[in-house]
Structure 1
Amino acid sequence: DWGALHLEQDLAAHPGVAAAGYSCFALAMTIGRLSGTTLLERLGQTPILVTGGATAAAGMLLGALAPTVWLALLGFAVTGLGLANIFPVAIERAGALAGPDGVATASTLGYGGMLLGPPAIGFMAEWFTLPIALTSVAVLAGLAAVIGCTTRHR
């Protein structure tokens, strides 16, 4: 959500190009979700979580710290691909481990993060800079990869 502002203010993108930041992210996430079932069948849950988290972390670092608009747009697209299947797999794993209560807890945390994430990034941008605040998404995506790796045998 903050990508357009980052592109316009930090990288001097035209407002129309800046608006494309979210579009790149959303389109890539859609493509990732549509191919998710095939990837899960071929690779399994753990590789999807670990690779997705690592890909999203790298993409968000590129999106947040890129010196040019086009590299930032590429970073947002890579982030969308990486994040595309993390949430559905996490919900499925929570259901397998803890049943309906696990699904409810994971859903609450996931949707809570979507609601609280943008304001948290805004506060961090006020304290630091928007590019630094956006790197928090990369840190959380990397954490998802680590969690996916460490919980693979449970």
Structure 2
Amino acid sequence: MINEQELQQLVEEISLESFGRPFRHQARINRRLKTTGGRYLLASHQLEFNPLFLKEENLHYLPGIIKHELTHYHLHLLGLGYRHKDHDFKVLLKRVGGSRYAPNIGRGRRQQRKYLYQCQKCCLKYPRVRKINTRRYFCGRCGGQLRLVEHLN
């Protein structure tokens, strides 16, 4: 696991090597990040990184994530398009070889299905997170009436 000092040094090195510009702000570890590799804070110009990508088994993803966040950082400071949808962002990210999306390491959020509905005609099952109005919604296959089969707490 990389600590914050090593992370700061790595970000500064990648910034100089890939962008030819220094990184003059702070790189931190944010334990609250769950589904993303990192983020760039517009107001303070700090970079925050997900600690899951700082573990030994996921370290090979880290340079791509750092380059992604540094792309936001440098473009924003230069007054160019720093958002994901901007042309400047896409071109620079491709040029430096940063990752476009956060790699999936199996830690994404998954909602639990709480309700199970079943069609009374064709017996097709519909797992749902939220409760639905069975007088309003019908089976998509045959148009039959739905009924609540199971409610998990």
What TM bracket, shorter-length normalisation?
under 0.3
Rg: which structure is higher? Answer: 2
TM-score normalised according to structure 2 size: 0.28
Whose relative contact order is higher, 1 or 2, with alpha carbons under 8 Å and at least 6 apart?
Answer: 1
Instruction: Tell me which protein shows more strand as a share of its residues.
Output: 2
Write 1 or 2 for the structure with the bigger share of helix.
1
